[in-house]
Amino acid sequence: MRNAGLGSWPERRLRISPDRDAIWFEGTTTSHAGFSERVRRTAGALAGLGVRAGDRVAWWSGNHPAALETLYACGQLGAVWVPVNARLTAPEAEYVLGHSGATIVIHGRDHGELADALRTPGAGVRSWIAVEPPTAGGADSLPYEELLAGSDPEPRDVPVGLDDPCLIMYTSGTTGRPKGAVLTHGNMTWNATNQMLGFDFGPTERTLAVAPLFHIGGLNGTVNPTLLRGGCAVVVRRFDPAGTLAVIEEQGIHSFFAVPTMLDAMAREPDFRTRDLSELRTIGAAGAPLPLPTLRTWLDRGVTMQQAYGMTEAAPGCTVLDSADAVRKVGSAGKPVFFTDVRVLRPDGTVAGVDEIGEVVVQGLNVMAGYWNDPERTAEVLIDGWYHTGDAGSVDDEGFLYIRDRYKDMIISGGENIYPAEVESALLELPGVREAAVIGVPDEKWGEVGLAILVVEPATRRDADAIRHALRERLAGFKVPRLVRFADELPKTATGKIRKPDLREHYLREHYLDTEEETPA
């Protein structure tokens, strides 16, 4: 059986479009022929270090072309790629490396000291490789470029099927220890197909890799589908609003994936309206609801906005909302992508009615095989071929999906169910509110009440009563947070998602202290 997986993509692109641009990074452009050779050399270097089919190879860095080279090289060897969040501390990374059983770690220039901290005798990692000279530490890591220069560039064709593991991507761990979602070569291929159909990628596509490649949206939102189509991935090391806008203009970017906080930051740049965005056709936005003011700002620049709903476990695409319905159906996650089915179920497993809130479940060839070495958690979420997301949602009379919130984030106040995402959307419509997060805190009378934490514009008055009064015009009284706090910033993950566990830990402690102070002696 010939290689039917991700590792074969560069070789087939080499035959179809060898001279087209494949990668741009910090002023250097690599053709598909050149990229294919680097992938083969990477595969040869890894094979020389003992990597065989089924072995796990970890990538621990920010965005860099070597992330894609190692991903595809693993596919040619039948090995499994393990992207590690570049923001993890040494203990957090140690868990991911140990749990996945990674034997090789390829790290970036900023991770030399962390590599030294984890480089202990008897550990499972046999070899550490530095993609670039580390800024500090990492002296014992093997140099990536030297390994490639000395490796055999001959093609490798280890048998790989669509059901074989391609990568293990660990969730953010907001509900405990991170879980390793196993995405097969079939998952990756079918997600790319869904994305190509939805974004209408052409063979000369230039997409921007600005979201982290160690997260599923950054990797599979537009980057992998563009490379499969024969286009070019313009890789940006890290997100900077002004710098990213400059690259979009200078490189003639056609598409990219981003989270709403990134889009909002770029839209606030002083020269946003004067930048030449004439080549920019489509943006895929996911990870959080896209505020209407931000949406309109990009639509006014003539950009098609595709708001999407997805998750690591679905590689990630599940639904998409096109620009044509973006304002009319604001707040919706859209309709299912082409080869994926989405339903909303009641607790008894029956399909929920129109506008009835239930759990969102997903089925399709893009849905993961399961969690790595965790059959119990796998059995909890994969039931009769459907992935149970844990998200509360509803479908309207036109078939548009609305994500109400995570079930675990739902607040039950006086017997009423309150979905923080709905309240947060209303808060973001208020003048001067830049970011909003709502959590539940204990209350003796109501059981729980809502606490809103807001980041506002510098000129906006921090008036909690005015915020609550304004919300009463938009929401039922029981949904209006009883408490409002203001912050200079909200804690976020690498993909821009607000870390609610951190907020709960901080504000619950504050809440209990306030309660104790108010309690008569």
Whether 360 and 465 share a structural domain: no
Whether 391 and 414 share a structural domain: no
Amino acid at 166: C
Cα three-residue angle 279-284-290, rounded to 5 degrees:
115
The closest alpha carbon to 278, from 298, 254, 257, belongs to 254
Whether 367 and 460 share a structural domain: no
Grade residue 171 by pLDDT with cuts at 50, 70 and 90: confident
Query: How many Cβ atoms are within 10 Å of 123's Cβ, its own excluded?
Result: 12
Whether 362 and 454 share a structural domain: no
Residue 401 lies in a domain: no
Last residue of a domain, one of 338, 363, 395: 395
The Cα–Cα gap between 412 and 478 comes to 10
Grade residue 189 by pLDDT with cuts at 50, 70 and 90: very high
Q: What is the number of domains present in the chain?
A: 2
Residue 336's H or E segment, with its range, is: strand 335-336
Cα three-residue angle 479-483-488, rounded to 5 degrees:
115
Q: What is the pLDDT of residue 205?
A: 97
Q: What is the pLDDT of residue 512?
A: 54
Residue 76 lies in a domain: yes
Whole-angstrom CA distances from 462 to 185, 425, 429, 467, 498 are 50, 19, 16, 9, 21
Chain centroid, CA 354 distance in Å: 29
User: For the segment 24-63, what is each residue's pLDDT rounded down to a tens digit?
Assistant: 999 999 999 999 999 999 999 999 999 999 999 999 999 9
User: For the segment 306-338, what is each residue's pLDDT rounded down to a tens digit?
Assistant: 999 999 999 999 999 988 898 898 889 999 999
Whether 193 and 273 share a structural domain: yes
Whether 340 and 457 share a structural domain: no
Q: What is the pLDDT of residue 448?
A: 84
CATH of the domain at 45: 3.40.50.12780
Grade residue 493 by pLDDT with cuts at 50, 70 and 90: confident
Residue 288 lies in a domain: yes
Residue 400 lies in a domain: no
Residue 94 lies in a domain: yes
Domain boundaries, position 418: 410-518
Whether 75 and 130 share a structural domain: yes
The Cα–Cα gap between 313 and 180 comes to 9
Q: What is the pLDDT of residue 420?
A: 86
User: For the segment 348-399, what is each residue's pLDDT rounded down to a tens digit?
Assistant: 999 999 999 999 999 999 999 999 999 999 999 999 999 999 998 999 999 9
Q: Are 372 and 351 in contact (CB under 8 A)?
A: no
Residue 1 lies in a domain: no
Whether 145 and 75 share a structural domain: yes
The closest alpha carbon to 58, from 116, 108, 23, 109, belongs to 108
The Cα–Cα gap between 99 and 87 comes to 18
Q: What is the pLDDT of residue 446?
A: 81
3-class DSSP state of 166: strand
Q: Left (φ > 0), alpha (ψ -120 to 50) or beta: where does 26 sit?
A: left
Residue 402 lies in a domain: no
Q: What is the pLDDT of residue 176?
A: 57
Last residue of a domain, one of 395, 425, 460: 395
Whether 387 and 430 share a structural domain: no
User: For the segment 406-431, what is each residue's pLDDT rounded down to a tens digit?
Assistant: 777 878 787 677 878 888 988 998 99
User: For the segment 128-148, what is each residue's pLDDT rounded down to a tens digit?
Assistant: 999 999 999 999 999 999 999
Q: Is the peptide bond before 316 cis (omega within 30 degrees of 0)?
A: yes
Whether 165 and 239 share a structural domain: yes
Whether 441 and 499 share a structural domain: yes
Q: What is the pLDDT of residue 39?
A: 98
Residue 405 lies in a domain: no
Q: What is the pLDDT of residue 520?
A: 31
Whether 83 and 156 share a structural domain: yes
CATH of the domain at 510: 3.30.300.30
3-class DSSP state of 99: helix
Tokens 């090289």 — which residue? Answer: 73
Beta bridge partners of 309: 319
The closest alpha carbon to 227, from 10, 8, 5, belongs to 10
Q: Are 224 and 196 in contact (CB under 8 A)?
A: no
Cβ neighbours for 347, distance < 8 A, ≥ 6 positions apart: 358, 359
